[in-house]
Amino acid sequence: MARTALIISGGAPNATLTAGALEAFHELGIHVDVISAAGAGGLLGLMYIAPKNGDVVSTMRSLKEMGVADFIYRAFPVNFKVFHKPGPMAEAYRQALSANPVLQMMQQWPVTHTLAQVFKDGASLAIASASPSNLSSDSLGLCAHIPFAEQIIDFNALQEAGPDFWLNAYNLSQHQMENWSRGQIDVLHLQAALSFPYLYPPTEINGDFYIEGAAIDCLNFKDLRKNYPELEEIIVFDLLGAEKLLRKPKNLCDAWVMSIMTPLVEIARDDIKLFEALHSDGITLHKVPLIDSIAEEHLPDVFDWSRSNMDRLYQTGYGAAKRYCENNLQHLYK
């Protein structure tokens, strides 16, 4: 019988907050019966329950590598490590690069010095810039779907025993939200759950087209409550539901990011209010204060893909979750 659930919300640039929090949960041995995820939360949740290398901590920490060296990010505030050019030629280009042992050694090179990080990311930027692309006015999305999921997630392990896991995506063809259980999830289902409109084209599964569920339901409360009426506690990692995340943009690219995040912030806030009003009878709701733990002077950088921000958010998430667990969730320690 499922008594405890963890909800991991959508939110990509600030996802290392959740990665740090999940490391703290793993370290303390927090036990949950169900994990429900949306958007980027799905990627993080799958990394947590089925890491490719079998090591939760190193897999969570590897997310910091998505950050771009600060020197480069200040000049070119785009994450070329995450967002890849679309098209079959671009895919062939990436496959050819992945077969090059020298480039693979460079990408796996563990850097600790700032100058080395700039050199490594500068080379990655040059390689990404040289990629061909078929992007045109007829394209259904700006980017190729994330190409690295199978490198960090063991999808075969999802068939093994573990906490129940649910991932949502919105079915455009049937006009309904769908939730997939861990036994149904493969790389294509994760791709569908991450297909945020305009960023990525819809994903086709069995003739139906899907977009990211978090674009409509960031927290995935409703089906969780319906499928598990016996739940007693729900823990929420909410990365978006705080008005203080909204601010004046820094540049045109940042304005575009804020145009995506602004409605998501309001959706996440409304989701929590609706749950507390309609579905919370008999349930203790634990809202781990990830956003509230960010120092005021760092709030303007929360949606940056810079390496310093990714590192800072990871440590903030780890510390916030560990403190919350020690004060409120000791009864869930294994």
Of 46-55, 179-188, 210-219, 237-246, the one with minimum mean pLDDT is: 237-246
- Band (pLDDT 50/70/90 cuts) for residue 14 is confident
Q: What is the pLDDT of residue 125?
A: 96
- Band (pLDDT 50/70/90 cuts) for residue 91 is very high
The segment with the largest mean pLDDT, out of 10-19, 206-215, 267-276, is 206-215
Encode burial over 287-302: b for 16+ CB neighbours within 10 A, e otherwise: bbebbebbeeeeeebb
Q: Which has more pLDDT, 239 or 32?
A: 32
| CATH T-level fold of 4-67+145-332 | Cytosolic phospholipase A2 catalytic domain (3.40.1090)
pLDDT in tens, 93-150: 999 998 888 877 777 777 778 888 999 999 999 999 999 999 999 999 999 998 889 9
Q: What is the pLDDT of residue 188?
A: 97
Handedness of CA 166, 170, 9, 62 (dihedral sign): positive
**Mean pLDDT throughout 29-35?**
96
Q: What is the pLDDT of residue 73?
A: 96
- Band (pLDDT 50/70/90 cuts) for residue 201 is very high
pLDDT in tens, 47-66: 999 999 999 999 999 999 89
> Given a cut of 80, is residue 238 above it in pLDDT?
no
SS (H, E, C) the chain: CCCEEEEECCCCCCHHHHHHHHHHHHHHCECCCEEEECCHHHHHHHHHHCECCCCHHHHHHHHHHHCECHHHHHHCCCCCCCCECCCHHHHHHHHHHHCCHHHHHHHHCCCCCHHHHHHHHHHHHHHHHCCCCCCCCCCCECCECCCCHHHHECHHHHHCCCCEEEEEEEECCCCEEEEEECCCCCHHHHHHHCCCCECCCCEEECCEEEEEHHHCCCCCHHHHHHHCCCCCEEEEECCCCCHHHCCCCCCHHHHHHHHHHHHHHHHHHHHHHHHHHHCCCCCEEEECCCHHHCCHHHHHHCCCCEHHHHHHHHHHHHHHHHHHHHHHCHHHEC
Crossing angle between the packed helical segments 40-49 and 15-28, to the nearest 10 degrees: 30
Express as a percent the part of the chain with pLDDT over 70.
Answer: 99
Q: What is the pLDDT of residue 88?
A: 96
> Given a cut of 90, is residue 218 above it in pLDDT?
no
Say which residues have a Cβ less than 8 Å from residue 284's Cβ, sequence separation at least 6.
Answer: 232, 233, 234
C-alpha span between 214 and 41 (Å, rounded): 9
Q: What is the mean pLDDT of the chain?
A: 91
- Band (pLDDT 50/70/90 cuts) for residue 243 is confident
- Band (pLDDT 50/70/90 cuts) for residue 241 is low
- Token output for 4: 């405890």
Domain with CATH 3.40.1090.10 in the chain: 4-67+145-332
Q: What is the pLDDT of residue 279?
A: 67
C-alpha span between 217 and 211 (Å, rounded): 11
